[in-house]
Amino acid sequence: MKWQLINRVKKYVGFFKVDECRISHDTYAGGEIEITRELFQRGDAVAVLLYDPAKDRVVLIEQFRIGAIEDEQGPWLLEIVAGVVEPGESIKEVARRECMEEAGLDIHAFESIHTFYSSPGGCSEQIYLLCGLVDSDKADGIHGLEHEGEDIRVVVVDYDAVEDLMHSNQISSAIPIIALQWLQLNRERLRIESFVL
Question: Is there a single domain that holds both residue 37 and residue 49?
Answer: no
Question: Is there a single domain that holds both residue 71 and residue 17?
Answer: no
pLDDT at 195: 55
What residues of the chain score a pLDDT lower than 70? 195-197
Instruction: Give the gyration radius of the chain's Cα atoms.
Output: 19
Question: Is there a single domain that holds both residue 87 and residue 140?
Answer: yes
Look up the domain containing 109 and give its range: 45-194
Active-site residue among 148, 150, 188, 193? 148
pLDDT at 196: 46
**What's the Cα-to-Cα distance from 52 to each of 57, 75, 90, 144, 161, rounded to whole Å?**
5, 27, 24, 21, 14
Strands 142-143 and 32-41, bridge-based pairing: unpaired
Question: Is there a single domain that holds both residue 147 and residue 122?
Answer: yes
Does residue 148 have an active-site annotation?
yes
Helix (H) or strand (E) holding 77: strand 76-79
Question: Is there a single domain that holds both residue 138 and residue 187?
Answer: yes
Question: Is there a single domain that holds both residue 143 and residue 85?
Answer: yes
pLDDT at 28: 96
Q: What's the pLDDT tens digit per position in 16-51?
A: 899 999 999 999 999 999 999 999 998 999 999 999
What is the pTM (predicted TM-score) of this model? 0.90
Question: Is there a single domain that holds both residue 7 and residue 87?
Answer: no
Question: Is there a single domain that holds both residue 66 and residue 131?
Answer: yes
